[in-house]
Structure 1
Amino acid sequence: MYVRIMGKGSWGYNDEKGNVVIPLGKYKFLNPMDEKGMILAELRNKHGYIDIHENIIVPFYFDDIALFSEELACVKKDKKYGFVDRSGKIVIPIQFEEETDFQKTGLALVKKNNLYGFINQQGKEIIPIIYQNAKESIADSLVCLYKKGKWAFFDSFGKQKSDFIYDEIALTDIDIKGENKSTFWKNGLILVRKNNKKGYLNKELTEMIPFGKYSTAEIFNQNRIAIVSKNNKYGIINEFGKEIVKPEYDTIEHPEESYHKSEIFLAKKGKNLVLIDEYGKKIYDKIKGFSFDYCRLNKKIEKIYHVQDLNGKYGAIDTKGKLIIPVVYEEFEDFGSNYNAIVKYKGKFGLIDSNNKVTYPIENKAIYSDRRELDYYVIKNKDGKFGIIDKNLKPIFNFDFQDLSPCIYDQKNRFIAKQNDKYGVIDRAGRIIIPFEYSEMSNWVEYGPGENYHFVIKNNKRGLITKEGKTIIPPIYENLFYHNEKTIVLSKNNKYGVVNIQNKIIIPLIYDKIYADVHYFDPQKKEAEFYVLKNGKYSILNSKKEIIKTNVSKEEVENNFPLEFKKHT
């Protein structure tokens, strides 16, 4: 057994004991070993195949090379493509204009002189390369060719199976043993368009659903059903043309589920939504919204649907439409594969399990959890005090706090807390990391100094501390405006200056007002520029305290800093 390893700009192989077999530093890329022990490799910008002992099987002669398909690999040389066998011999000359491969039909779709056709593994043209376009499926033996604005079907032996009469022929996808493959007919029927009307054919290309019967029609899914419409109403048919969902809905579509289209259907009729399963059976109706979720049912994680009724209340059903959570809640967050979900009922928050059993009393003012990585619940109880329980509903913090929120830089273990009207930071064990001495404390701000700092206010003065509580800028300033690590505008006793993130003075606190030039954020500009006001006169300084310009007009400052200027004046 061999293990592929990656280094800096190169690849190699070790054996199962960690001994080097193919060292790093030689090959720019090595593919996993295939079933015949061959390894696709890149060496000095050329591609070939080697074995685990670095014997060259396919020479490093090609600009690119593909994986073997039906014992042949497509190769590229000087912007043209051909095929080699496993001995490295060019068996089909390099002459084609696009990369291709052989399917189980024994054919490969090729392009030459901007025209298409199909060849066999001996390079013989089974379907002449004379057509303007072509389509092939992976899962079945049909192909189709295009000329003079029309499509026709051919079989894998090159026999023409239909006339050139179709404006469009649809391919669809099918899952075969975990692999996604394209097919014309294995999902049921072939969707085609002729004379601007859609119809369906079977695998023998017999017309099964007449052209024009439906004004719109979609491809069949893997359960052999398809969405159709007539008279602006939508329904679902099976492969025999039976309307298993009558065309009575305003729309029917596949909703988005985890960034792809779900197999189920969502139908709309007036203000009502209807859920229909992947086989065309109605799951639930008379709702105005729904979402996907997963919870633990019968000791297994199962898919469920949250539903919202026409009165805005929430509940949940299983995939068969059985009601598992009654539709009574004002808010209902996802289980997210966990045991409990946050709900709101009669204005109060609590937790329930998938049997609708209350697992934490529904009597609280608020409950928060990070559902992506559930570790605890932050709870604001009925008295307005904050505490935390873990995912097993055991206390982490008692309700001794006026406020609690997880620190953005360590959400599992550190929390900004408030006691006796003062903020500090505690860890999960309750140890005080930053003392309770601030009237305000930031968590993370988008344009702030990052995760390692907190802006703080103490005695109505502003400063900056680290997440360990070390003072960087002492809280002695009336104003603190953070531009970046090199530009922090401060004011004290109504005088303004500039420091950097280490609290080193850039501009002394002697000015009546300072505006930081927004052009400083232009990467082409090397020096910061500051508009400063002193004794009623404006000047421009750089970060070296050098005067760039004097007697700057009030109008120029107002034009450059309209919002700040308005506040200041």
Structure 2
Amino acid sequence: MGKGSWGYNDEKGNAVIPLGKYKFLNPMDEKGMIYAKKGTKYGYIDILENIIVPFEYDDLTVFSEELACAKKNNKFGFLNRKGSVVIPFQYDNETFFRKNGLALVKKNSLYGFIDKKGKEIIPIIYQNATHVILDSLVTLEKQGKWAFFDSFGKQKTDFIYDEITVTSFNYKDTFWKNGLILVRKNNQISYLNKNLKEIIPFGKYDTGEVFNRNRIAIVSINSKYGIIDEFGKEIVKTEYDTLEHPEESYHESEIFAAKKSTYLVLFDKNGKEIYNKIKDFSFDHCRINNKIEAIYHVKDLNGKYGAIDTKGKLLIPIVYDEFQDFGSNYNAIVKYKGKFGLIDSNNKVTYPIDNEAIYAIDREDLDYYIIKTNNKSGIIDKNLKPIFNFDYQEIAPCFYDTKNRFIVKQNDKYGVIDRAGRIIIPFEYSEMSNWVEYGPGKNYHFVTKDNKKGLITKEGKTVIAPIYDHLFYHNDKMIILSKDEKYGVITIQNEQVIPFFYEKIYIEFGFFGDNKEAEFYVLKNGKYSIVNNKNEIIKSNISAQEVKDKFSYYN
């Protein structure tokens, strides 16, 4: 009954508005009204389900400036909180009132602005219009040109602009709260202040971006880029080949990266230089005095790595051949003169830099490091205490339990041990898979023993004995195997599907056998055929070229 419906419960879980009545309910607003959908119509109720705005509207908005826009008979009008129509249904667009007391409306493909009584403050005669959340100014378009108006309907500029840009201040749109307004005219740009006076005249710069919340903007002249402030002063000279906000954690950073000739320069969010003449950089966080701080890795023109803080202070000398992220941890992996070790944010060596390799496992939630030295591998925890001594040739965390299970190699044989060093799978395999994307899942290992292939569980139980020369896992029902130069097919339960008397067996990689009978291309006595999973011939005399073209990825 409640599927696809909405209701309200109290803090004890008791139904206040039961499911099954409403297709949608918004949270209660500050006046105790609940936006609701019943059937195909919209209205408002209170918590006792008293109808305040009747369910007779095809669409409805939340209240803005105490009015809600409603749709009826394909036209829009406005209701008050008592549900009374205060502005008739005559407009073609859903709209709402801003703090300047105006709503942008459309009628007969033309635009204008009305007040909360429905009076046209700016006549509905314009090609287009824009208003923003934070400002009282609005803009309108006539004959392809734009002009500014105030909230009283007074025209503040001529219709001379080809474009008037909008920017964002604290995630709300604005013309001028960030400092200046970017406008375009006749392929030139200018910046206006909130009084619409030209602070930066047309033609001074070739290109420009909107001002950001730090009240600065990127500009260019003659393909050279710089940064200006709201007074028109160049706080970064227009001398860089590129200037942009670099990507940081999937969003645009506030800092600036400028390229000049063969090097980069970093500027902070206010346009102040952080660091000069580097080849590359990246973002990171580390623990400094028990507090997580943002830092930048920098690579100098000689290919060496170090780190600086956000003000440009050198934290880690630029001497390392490699320098992995701290990732909010106390230590980072570095490479120096061909050897690996660990350092802290003060550049103190916390683990000797004399190892062949170090791997941080799950750096975002660091648990341990795998270390290789003198051709032996061991593990230390994040506090640099030993977990495994250097008794193994190789160590790799098991995909299915990276914290507690490890595939290890000892005396040229692979097995699995747990974190306490207990042997889970004996050391008897020359090869052991960790994870195979198209394999039987995370609970299994493909293994090789005495040059023969098989499959075991993560607890070491034999699923397919390692007695086969070749093993191709397709799915649980179709595992192609070869033994003594003869091919057959079994299931993961080791039940035979196709007997072992073919010279070759192929199956299309994309086929998983759920909705279609399996088809196997088989070679016997030098001739190809297609058989089903009962080994019945479906088609004979398949050309060798067709098989070669279809299964080239096998070879």
| Alignment partner, residue 512 of structure 1 | 503
The amino acid across from 1:279 in the alignment is N
User: Which of 26, 29, 51 pairs up with 1:56?
Assistant: 51
Relative to structure 1, the CA distance from residue 90 to residue 469 in structure 2 (aligned partners, 3 Å threshold; closer, same or farther) is: farther
* CA distance in 2: counterparts of 1:437 and 1:184, whole angstroms: 72
Relative to structure 1, the CA distance from residue 429 to residue 67 in structure 2 (aligned partners, 3 Å threshold; closer, same or farther) is: farther
* CA distance in 2: counterparts of 1:342 and 1:220, whole angstroms: 40
1:543 aligns with 2:533: yes
Report the alpha carbon displacement of residue 522 of structure 1 after superposing the two structures with TM.
9.3
User: Which of 388, 403, 414 pairs up with 1:412?
Assistant: 403
Relative to structure 1, the CA distance from residue 120 to residue 412 in structure 2 (aligned partners, 3 Å threshold; closer, same or farther) is: farther
User: Which of 275, 282, 297 pairs up with 1:306?
Assistant: 297
Report the alpha carbon displacement of residue 79 of structure 1 after superposing the two structures with TM.
4.6
* CA distance in 2: counterparts of 1:467 and 1:23, whole angstroms: 49
* CA distance in 1: counterparts of 2:317 and 2:510, whole angstroms: 58
The amino acid across from 2:548 in the alignment is E
User: Which of 173, 176, 186 pairs up with 1:195?
Assistant: 186
Residues 406, 415 of structure 1: 8 Å contact kept:
yes
User: Which of 32, 49, 61 pairs up with 1:66?
Assistant: 61
* CA distance in 2: counterparts of 1:321 and 1:547, whole angstroms: 74
Residues 252, 268 of structure 1: 8 Å contact kept:
yes
Query: What percent identity do the matched residue pairs reach?
Result: 73
Range moving further from structure 2, 487-496 or 498-507: 498-507
User: Which of 8, 23, 26 pairs up with 1:13?
Assistant: 8
1:141 aligns with 2:126: no
Residues 336, 371 of structure 1: 8 Å contact kept:
no
Question: Matches of residues 365-384 of structure 1 in structure 2 within 5 Å?
Answer: 365-384=356-375
Range moving further from structure 2, 331-340 or 24-33: 24-33
| Alignment partner, residue 341 of structure 2 | 350
Relative to structure 1, the CA distance from residue 252 to residue 527 in structure 2 (aligned partners, 3 Å threshold; closer, same or farther) is: same
Question: Matches of residues 11-410 of structure 1 in structure 2 within 5 Å?
Answer: 11-175=6-170, 180-410=171-401
Secondary structure of the residue that 1:198 maps to in structure 2? strand
Secondary structure of the residue that 1:362 maps to in structure 2? strand
| Alignment partner, residue 481 of structure 2 | 490
Relative to structure 1, the CA distance from residue 268 to residue 549 in structure 2 (aligned partners, 3 Å threshold; closer, same or farther) is: same
The amino acid across from 1:532 in the alignment is V
The amino acid across from 1:556 in the alignment is E
Residues 475, 512 of structure 2: 8 Å contact kept:
no
The amino acid across from 1:110 in the alignment is V
* CA distance in 2: counterparts of 1:392 and 1:11, whole angstroms: 50
| Alignment partner, residue 500 of structure 1 | 491
The amino acid across from 1:197 in the alignment is Q
* CA distance in 1: counterparts of 2:402 and 2:59, whole angstroms: 47
Residues 375, 393 of structure 2: 8 Å contact kept:
yes
* CA distance in 2: counterparts of 1:116 and 1:420, whole angstroms: 81
* CA distance in 2: counterparts of 1:68 and 1:293, whole angstroms: 44
* CA distance in 2: counterparts of 1:425 and 1:78, whole angstroms: 71
Relative to structure 1, the CA distance from residue 424 to residue 51 in structure 2 (aligned partners, 3 Å threshold; closer, same or farther) is: farther
| Alignment partner, residue 521 of structure 2 | 531
Residues 367, 377 of structure 1: 8 Å contact kept:
no
The amino acid across from 1:331 in the alignment is E
For residues 519-569 of structure 1, give each alpha carbon's deviation from its aligned partner in whole angstroms, at most 9, with x where no partner exists.
73698x6112111111222211012322101232333323333454xx5xx
Secondary structure of the residue that 2:97 maps to in structure 1? coil
Structure 2 unaligned regions, length at least 5:
none
Relative to structure 1, the CA distance from residue 369 to residue 150 in structure 2 (aligned partners, 3 Å threshold; closer, same or farther) is: same
User: Which of 544, 550, 555 pairs up with 1:560?
Assistant: 550
Secondary structure of the residue that 1:241 maps to in structure 2? coil
* CA distance in 2: counterparts of 1:395 and 1:66, whole angstroms: 62
The amino acid across from 1:37 in the alignment is G
Relative to structure 1, the CA distance from residue 10 to residue 307 in structure 2 (aligned partners, 3 Å threshold; closer, same or farther) is: same
Relative to structure 1, the CA distance from residue 102 to residue 457 in structure 2 (aligned partners, 3 Å threshold; closer, same or farther) is: same
Relative to structure 1, the CA distance from residue 373 to residue 432 in structure 2 (aligned partners, 3 Å threshold; closer, same or farther) is: farther
For residues 402-435 of structure 1, give each alpha carbon's deviation from its aligned partner in whole angstroms, at most 9, with x where no partner exists.
2111222222222222222222222223333322
Range moving further from structure 2, 421-430 or 332-341: 421-430
* CA distance in 2: counterparts of 1:545 and 1:61, whole angstroms: 66
Residues 514, 532 of structure 1: 8 Å contact kept:
yes
Relative to structure 1, the CA distance from residue 96 to residue 424 in structure 2 (aligned partners, 3 Å threshold; closer, same or farther) is: farther
For residues 101-144 of structure 1, give each alpha carbon's deviation from its aligned partner in whole angstroms, at most 9, with x where no partner exists.
21111112222222222222222222222211111111111110
Secondary structure of the residue that 1:429 maps to in structure 2? coil
**TM-score, length-normalised on structure 2?**
0.95
Question: Matches of residues 403-482 of structure 1 in structure 2 within 5 Å?
Answer: 403-482=394-473
**TM-score, length-normalised on structure 1?**
0.93
Secondary structure of the residue that 1:556 maps to in structure 2? helix
* CA distance in 1: counterparts of 2:528 and 2:297, whole angstroms: 61
Range moving further from structure 2, 551-560 or 460-469: 551-560
* CA distance in 2: counterparts of 1:404 and 1:45, whole angstroms: 62
The amino acid across from 2:243 in the alignment is I
Structure 1 unaligned regions, length at least 5:
1-6
Relative to structure 1, the CA distance from residue 96 to residue 413 in structure 2 (aligned partners, 3 Å threshold; closer, same or farther) is: farther
Paired residues, number: 555
Relative to structure 1, the CA distance from residue 81 to residue 342 in structure 2 (aligned partners, 3 Å threshold; closer, same or farther) is: farther
For residues 200-251 of structure 1, give each alpha carbon's deviation from its aligned partner in whole angstroms, at most 9, with x where no partner exists.
1111111111100111111111121111111221111111111111111111
Relative to structure 1, the CA distance from residue 508 to residue 62 in structure 2 (aligned partners, 3 Å threshold; closer, same or farther) is: farther
Report the alpha carbon displacement of residue 78 of structure 1 after superposing the two structures with TM.
5.0
Residues 267, 274 of structure 1: 8 Å contact kept:
yes
Report the alpha carbon displacement of residue 485 of structure 1 after superposing the two structures with TM.
2.7
Relative to structure 1, the CA distance from residue 475 to residue 10 in structure 2 (aligned partners, 3 Å threshold; closer, same or farther) is: farther
For residues 424-462 of structure 1, give each alpha carbon's deviation from its aligned partner in whole angstroms, at most 9, with x where no partner exists.
222223333322222111111222222222211111111
Residues 132, 174 of structure 2: 8 Å contact kept:
yes
Relative to structure 1, the CA distance from residue 378 to residue 554 in structure 2 (aligned partners, 3 Å threshold; closer, same or farther) is: same
The amino acid across from 1:39 in the alignment is I
Residues 329, 366 of structure 2: 8 Å contact kept:
no
Relative to structure 1, the CA distance from residue 49 to residue 420 in structure 2 (aligned partners, 3 Å threshold; closer, same or farther) is: farther
The amino acid across from 1:339 in the alignment is Y
Relative to structure 1, the CA distance from residue 421 to residue 97 in structure 2 (aligned partners, 3 Å threshold; closer, same or farther) is: farther
Relative to structure 1, the CA distance from residue 107 to residue 501 in structure 2 (aligned partners, 3 Å threshold; closer, same or farther) is: farther
The amino acid across from 1:61 in the alignment is E
* CA distance in 2: counterparts of 1:13 and 1:472, whole angstroms: 53
Residues 378, 405 of structure 1: 8 Å contact kept:
no
